[in-house]
Amino acid sequence: MSEGLFGAIEAGGTKFRVAIARGRDVIADTTIPTRTPHETLTATIEFLRTWEDIRSVGIACFGPLDLDPASPSYGSITSTPKRLWEGTPVLAWVRDALGIPGAIDIDVGGAALGEWRWGAARGLDHFVYVTVGTGIGAGLFIDGAVHHGTGHPEMGHIAMERVAGDKYPGRCPFHGACLEGLASGPAIEERWGMSAGQLSDRPEVWELEATYLARALRTFTYVAAPQRVVLGGGVMQHGGLLDLVRMKLEEQLAGYVTSETLRGPLEEYVVAPAHGQDAGLIGAIALAMEAANA
């Protein structure tokens, strides 16, 4: 059943977007800055409480999260650099305060679910949802469900082969020059001394960015054999970057074709999300519906 009212929370490192949806349509929403867990979650719960008859709540949350259903801290944030949030039982807190069923997933897992139900990955059994923004994250959707493994994949932190001549050390606090360390929005800004949005007329910036993203997509392609890659996030708003990534990926794959999907031009293989910057919130609605039907 996907009728009735649902609560949806896109819990991000800088802001929470909180919405009420009737079916999949947002009918009210608000944005709450991410401060202490107590301040932010109290305001989130207050907003949702003004609506009666919410069936369930879905949360697409920044991580890392404990997503092991057998764990006593299922649905809590684990070892985040955002120290104030470490150990916060986000799911239990919200669900218990509202007294309704709830579901949580990592932000990119939620976004993948939303794109699968209503977006650019409808009808697919296997795909990857990748976001390139303040960080880089990916939701892996395998055999008709978001893949969790022992928690959730961290595909933004894979090791990268450097482009010759690139001296930028990378900015991941854990790995330096991992994918996120080399190619996130803040990495672009630090490397070139200007925000990504202001670098639109510098082709060398996008050439390098597309090369790193294509290397990552090559790895994701060979590891997961997806039918599609949905590639979004703030950085992908740069006009022409999506096409450049497709071109570079075609070069990277070098004609070593592992599936029918990769035989033709890559326009249908690497696509933009249907919900753009709303993918996380739409995913939270999809999670709420799963909780209501569980």
Residues near Zn ion (CB under 5 A): 157, 172, 174-175, 178
Q: Of these partners, ligand ADP, Zn ion, none, which one is at the site of residue 178 (CB under 5 to 8 Å by kind)?
A: Zn ion
Report whether the peptide linkage leading into residue 33 is cis, meaning its omega lies within 30 degrees of zero: no
Query: At 111, which amino acid appears?
Result: A
Q: Of these partners, Zn ion, ligand ADP, none, which one is at the site of residue 157 (CB under 5 to 8 Å by kind)?
A: Zn ion
- Rounded to whole angstroms, what are the CA distances from 256 to 91, 126, 212? 44, 20, 19
Task: Classify residue 161 by burial, with Cβ atoms within 10 Å: 0-12, 13-18, 19+.
Answer: exposed
Q: Of these partners, ligand ADP, Zn ion, none, which one is at the site of residue 196 (CB under 5 to 8 Å by kind)?
A: ligand ADP
Assign residue 123 a region (left: φ > 0; alpha: ψ between -120 and 50; beta: otherwise).
left
Question: What is the contact surface with ligand ADP in residues (CB under 6 A)?
Answer: 12, 131, 133-135, 185-186, 195-197, 233-235, 237-238
Q: Of these partners, Zn ion, ligand ADP, none, which one is at the site of residue 55 (CB under 5 to 8 Å by kind)?
A: none
Q: Of these partners, Zn ion, ligand ADP, none, which one is at the site of residue 240 (CB under 5 to 8 Å by kind)?
A: none
Q: Which is nearer to ligand ADP, 217 or 279 (CB)?
A: 279
**Cβ 264 to ligand ADP, closest distance in Å?**
28
| CA–CA distance, 20 with 24 (Å, rounded to integer) | 9
Which residue is listed with tokens 């960015």?
209
Residue 110, CA atoms < 13 Å, CB-side half-sphere: 33
Q: Which is nearer to ligand ADP, 64 or 234 (CB)?
A: 234
Q: Which is nearer to Zn ion, 174 or 222 (CB)?
A: 174
Q: Which is nearer to ligand ADP, 4 or 186 (CB)?
A: 186
Query: At 105, which amino acid appears?
Result: D
Q: Of these partners, Zn ion, ligand ADP, none, which one is at the site of residue 185 (CB under 5 to 8 Å by kind)?
A: ligand ADP
Q: Which is nearer to Zn ion, 114 or 133 (CB)?
A: 133
**Cβ 206 to ligand ADP, closest distance in Å?**
9
Please identify the residue of the shown chain whose CB is closest to the bound ligand ADP. Answer: 185
Q: Which is nearer to Zn ion, 178 or 288 (CB)?
A: 178
* 28, β-bridge pairs: 20
Cβ atoms of 274 and 291 closer than 8 Å: no
Closest CA to 133 of 207, 176, 183: 183
DSSP assigned state of 178: B
